[in-house]
Amino acid sequence: MDWLGLYNYWVVIVLMMAGLYILIARYNMVKKMIGLSIFQTSIFFLYITMSKVEGGTAPILIDDPSVVYSNPLPHVLILTAIVVGVATTAVALALTVRVYEAYGTIEEDEIRAANAAEQDA
């Protein structure tokens, strides 16, 4: 088995884990969103890699039976997923702005402290 031959998938795994780690380990809401975006991008990468056919060209129909095409469907799916990802990021950043207006901070630990203080009062 040629492990390095699948290096695209290794990149996917590294990006995915890096994204998840940032998402879990960081308290800053904007950094969390960066983590989520990296995580989602790794999935786009996974789909695109999957559709690659060895020696395949762009899926444009020509009259030559010897030509092989890359699978266009995952590209189309990922186009949709990218739009969804952009929408998610937009909603998250809008929420971050609102949180900043309401709390004066976007650090989750400070927000938690503010909430706890409110509860005690």
Partner 1 sequence: MMDQLPALQVMLPLVGAPLIILLRHPVWSWAFATLVSVLTFLVSVALLLQVSDGSIIRYSIGGWEAPTGIEFYIDQVNAGVALLVSGISTVVLVYAYESIKRSLDSSRHYLFYCGWLLCITGLIGIVITGDAFNVFVFLEISSLSTYMLIAFGSDRRALVASFRYLVLGSVGASFILIGIGFLYAATGTLNMVDLAARIPDTESPRAVLVAFSFLTVGLLIKAAIFPLHGWLLNAYHHAPVAVTAFLAGTATKVSLYVLVRLFFSVFGTEYSFGQLFLNWVLLPAAVAAFLSMSLVAIYQTDLRRMLAYSSVAQIGYIVTGISLATQTGLTAAVVHIFNHGMVKTTLFMAVGCILYRTGHAHIPSLDRLMSRMPFTSTAFILAGLGLIGVPLTAGFVSKFTLISALIEQGWGIAAGLILLSSVMAVAYIGRVIYLILFRESRGPAVSNEGYREVPISMLVPMYSLLALSLYFGIFGGQSLSLAGSAAETLLRGYP
Using CB under 8 A as the criterion, which residues of the chain lie in contact with partner 1 when the complex forms?
20, 23, 29, 32, 36, 39-40, 43, 46-47, 50, 73-74, 77, 80-81, 84, 87-88, 91-92, 95-96, 98-99, 102-103, 108, 111, 115
- Looking from the CA of 27 toward its CB, the CA atoms found within 13 Å total 9
Report which of 95, 82, 92, 119 is spatially closest to residue 33, judged by C-alpha positions. Answer: 92
Please, which residue, 70 or 96, has the CB nearer to partner 1?
A: 96
Please, which residue, 14 or 84, has the CB nearer to partner 1?
A: 84
Nearest approach, Cβ of residue 87 and partner 1 (Å): 6
Nearest approach, Cβ of residue 117 and partner 1 (Å): 12
Q: What is the residue whose two structure tokens read 């309401």?
A: 102
Within 8 A by CB and 6+ apart from 47, the residues are: 74, 75, 77, 78, 81
Please, which residue, 64 or 101, has the CB nearer to partner 1?
A: 101
What is the C-alpha to C-alpha distance for residues 54 and 70, in angstroms, rounded to an integer? 8
Please, which residue, 18 or 20, has the CB nearer to partner 1?
A: 20
Provide the token pair at 11.
């990149």
